[in-house]
Structures are given as C-alpha cells and as structure tokens.
Structure 1
Amino acid sequence: MATNARRPSARELGNKAQQAGDRAERAGSDIQDSRAFRILVTVGLACYGVIHLLLGWLAIQLALGRGGEASTGGAMKDLASKPLGEVLMVIIAIGLFTLAVWQLIEALFGYRRLKTTTKARRKISSGAKVIMYSALGFSAAALAAGSDSGDSNESARSTTAQLMSAPFGQILVALVGIAIIAVGISQVVKGVRRKFVERDLESGAPEWGKKLGTVGWIAKGLSIALVGALFAWAAISHDPDKAGGVDGALKTLLEQPFGVFLLIAMGLGFAAFGIYCFVWSRHVNHEEI
C-alpha cells in the first residue's frame, strides 16, 4: 500500500533555506577571520601598492618623453622584465586572487550591519572589484608563465569595435563610457570626502597615510573617468580607434595644454595611492573583512 509523503510547508522550506544561508555565512566569516586569510589580504594590498607605484613611475616617464605603456598591465610587464620578475608575478597573482576572494566573500556575505540600500550598493561594488582583481591576477599569472597580456589600448579598441558591430552598438559604447565615468567620479568623491578612512582603515592609521589616500583615490578616479570619456568620444565619433585604456587616457592628457605637468601630477597621484596601499595593508578595517 503506497503512502503519501508529507510535503514540507513553505515555512519549513524557508527555515531550511535560512539555516543553509546562516551556515554559508558562518563559513565565510570563518575564512575571513582566519590568520592565514588576513595575511594573504595584507600581501595582496601590498602587491596592489607595488603595481601603482610602478604605474606612477611609468606615467612620469611618459611625461618626460621616454615612452612605455603607462597602465596597470604595463606596470606589471615592467616588473616582470626585472630579475626574479616571474617569481614576483606569481606572488602578485596570488595576492590579487586573494583580494578577489576577499571581495567575493564580501559580495556574498558581507555588510550585514548596513541598511538595505547601502548594503546593495556595497555588494555591487565588491562584485565589480572581484572582476577587477581577478583580471589583474590573470594578467600577472600570464606574465609569470611567459605570456604577454596584451596592450590595454588595443584591448579597449577591440572591445569597442565588437560593441559597435552589435545592434544599437553606438548606444552601448556610450553607456559603457558613462558607466566608467560614473565609477571614476565615485572614486574621486571617495577621495575628496575621505570615505575610505571609515570603510577601509582601522582606527590608528597614520594621518599622513590618509592624506596620501585622498590624493591617490582622486588620481585613480580621474584616470578612470578619462578612460570613460574616451569610450564616450568613440561612441560620438563612431570611431573605435578613439577608445583606449589607462595608457590611452594618459597620452590624451599629455596632449593637452600643460600636459607634461598634468601627467607628472597624475603619476605622483598614482604613487601616492601605491604608498597608501601599504598603509592600508597594515591597517585593514577587519570589520569590513
């Protein structure tokens, strides 16, 4: 005689889902609280600082007419060409992938004490950082393996050309440009309003490090906004060749009146952010991890 199994009620299913979510959240918290993970986050932020110090140096070299690719990819290529460069690339790749995991955990389980709208905004931001850190990590891993990660300007132009070939492609490219400009502006605001002090740093971080962070976030934001402006200009002119990465943005800046001085100032801003990353690595706000 067949028996009918009782189906779980909606409340029971909801409770099981809640319990599963709580277990996943605790597992994420355990990872974040582990000493090994925190050490890797510190290493990752220090590696990120090295990349920006090199980016600042390349930007200044570009301003002085000595060529080179002034981008994060160019900075890693320059470092990879040095003695023990491949070993350094492995360390940087591990550090960057750790930062990606950190932000992935934040996107999935973090910001529990924040209001719903703020929490959603922070989670989206963490998700974007997962993509950024992962992309840089893959570039570092490729360089460690002896492969060339490619030119940032060519990559941007290729992406723009592909988007423009799609239906409503010109509008898509313009939207990409606007989104990138918005990210850049948000980082400028983060620097000007010093939002990073509360979000990123624990109490006790030195004031000089906070000042470098202000300069660094503004410089990063301006460079990103310039990249977005190039995408927008490519859409307006319907010319994919107008697009470019950070290197293209800095070269465009160099072509402006007083471009040499503007580019040197930008390079110093990147260097300031690089030093700030070392301060950040030593004073990470563990409540945000």
Structure 2
Amino acid sequence: MKPGQRARRTASRAQNSRALTVVARIGFAASGLMHLLMGYIAIRIALHHGGESDQSGAFAQLIKLPGGMVVIWVTVAGLAAVGLWLLLQAGLGIGSSSKKRWARSLVSLGKGTSYLALTFTALSIALRHPTSSTTSTRHATGTLLSLPGGQALLICLGIITAGIGGYFIYKGARQKFREDITLPTGPSQRGITVLAMTGYIAKGIAILTLGVLFVVAAVKVDPQDASGLDGALKSLAALPFGEAILIMVGIGLIAYGLYSFARARLATL
C-alpha cells in the first residue's frame, strides 16, 4: 500500500472513531450554546443594554452560569474535536468526490481553522485570560498595516471575509446545509430547515459586515475601524433602522444556535 493511501485510511479511521464522533457532536452543541448567547447579547445591544456580542463575550457569559467552568472545558474539547475533524477532511478530501474534492477541502480548511480559533478563545476564558476580539482584531490589524503591502493584504482579508459571509448567506438561501446533516421526516424537518436558513443568513450578514469593516480600515489606514465581530454587529445598529436589523440578526444567531443543537444529533460524520 502506498504511503498516501495508508495515510488516507488511517485518517479515515480516526475520523470515523466513535470517541472523536461523540466529542465532535459535543462541539456542535457547544457552538450552538455560544450562538444562543451571541444572539441574546446582540439583542441586548440593540436595546441599549450593552455587552460584547462576539465569541469572547458569549464565553464570558457562559462561565457565569452554574457549572460554567465545567461547561467551558467541555466546550474547549468539543470545539477542538470539530476543528480536528474538519482539518482531516481538508487534508485528505474525505467524503468528497474527486470533482468537488478541492472545493470541499478548501471550505473544510476554513471552517476547521475557525473552530480552532474558537477553541483558543474558549481556552483563554477557561484559563482566566479573557481576550476581547475587538482589542485583538485591532492589534492584529495595526500589525498587518505596518507591514510592506499591509494595506493590500488587509483589503484582501476583508474581501475573503466578506466572501465567507456571502457563502453563509448562499448556503442558507440555497439550503446547502442539507449536505451536512441527515434531516428527519415529518414536521421537524421543516422546523430544522427554517432554523438553518435563518441562522446561516443572519451569520452571513454579520461576517459580511466584518469583511466590509476590514476594507474600510485598510482604505482609511485606521486599525480602529477593524473592530471584530462585536464591532461589526454594533456598526449594524448605527445604520438607519439598524436596531431593528441587529435584533433580526440576533434572532438569526439564536436560530443558528438551535440548528447547531439539531446538527449535534443529526450531523453526517
């Protein structure tokens, strides 16, 4: 057997292991809880109650719940497992046809990297070293802009981020999420479909806004304009009818969270 085939078979066995599958499903549930909290905080911001509506803000709220420390450590393990599972898919094209393998691998790579970034954020909260995504994003943006060609790089990052947001909107509108889960029959199928469509579109709008802010920061050469997901959502509130828009996005994030709970049980792993 060739080394590449052996590696693929080993990775496939790892991906299909019961332990990794169980922990990955916990990760989807943890992501669901995080999005519920993000949606709740986004609605609070729209109603002028304050708070940070990014992932770090959600984890900070999570740790305040009864048993929050236990939940946050379970979240760390679950998100890390999902990230590993997606990176295995990306590296070896598992579960994809040869024609679509490169595209599926690219998507899995991006999603896997995102889940590992969330793992780091949750871990920092668990270790009592909370980091604000707004602060860290501004710092990273300032560093990027100080590099040769940094302005062009930040514009590219903004375009890529906006593209990811557009992909989420497309995935929700065209119901491409059906490839990720095994939908049940009966009335529950429609309910899960509505939650997924609403959730993906709302999350896409938030990420798309974040990408636009990156481009604005690059054009103005001002890292303060690149303020992370929390800043992106707050910028929506500053638009005409922005509070209503942010409330709808918050409801959408809650819908995505509920869909993530369903995905934890129905995901195709």
**TM-score interval for Structure 1 and Structure 2 normalised by the shorter chain:** over 0.9
TM-score normalised over the length of structure 1: 0.88
Q: Choose from 217, 223, 229 the match for 2:206.
A: 223
Checking the alignment, whether the CA contact within 8 Å between 1:86 and 1:143 is kept in structure 2 is no
**Correspondence 1:5-24 to 2 at 5 A:** 19-24=2-7
Aligned-pair CA distance for 1:96? 0.3
8 Å CA contact 1:111, 1:122 repeated in 2: no
1:155 equivalent in alignment to 2:130 = no
**Distance in 1, Cα, partners of 2:141 & 2:96:** 40
Q: Secondary structure of the equivalent of 1:146?
A: coil
Matched, 1:232 2:232: no
CA contact under 8 A between 2:181 and 2:266: conserved in structure 1? yes
* 3-state SS of paired residue (1:234): helix
1:140 paired with 2:126, answer: no
How many residues are aligned here?
A: 266
Match of 2:248 in 1: 265
For residues 249 and 91 of structure 1, the distance between their equivalents in structure 2, rounded to whole angstroms, comes to 28
**CA shift in 2, pair 1:181/1:23, >3 Å:** same
Give the corresponding residue for 1:284: 267
Q: Could you tell me how far 1:112 is from its partner in structure 2?
A: 5.2
After superposition, residues 1-289 of structure 1 pair within 5 angstroms as: 19-111=2-94, 113-116=96-99, 118-148=100-130, 150-197=131-178, 199-204=179-184, 206-285=189-268, 289=269
Identity %: 36
Superposition misfits of 4+ residues, deviation over 4 angstroms: none
TM-score (norm 2): 0.95
Q: Alpha-carbon deviation of 1:84?
A: 2.0
RMSD between aligned alpha carbons?
1.4
Question: Which of 249-258 and 134-143 deviates more?
Answer: 134-143
Partner Cα separation in structure 2 for residue 245 and residue 64 of structure 1: 20
AA aligned opposite 1:200: D
Structure 2 distance, partners of 1:141, 1:232, is: 29
64-73 or 81-90, which deviates more: 81-90
Deviation at 1:110, TM superposition (A): 3.1
In structure 1, runs of 5+ residues without a counterpart are 1-17
Unaligned runs of 5+ in 2: none
The CA distance in 2 between the partners of 1:182 and 1:47, in whole Å, is 25
For the residue of structure 1 that corresponds to 2:2, the secondary structure is: helix
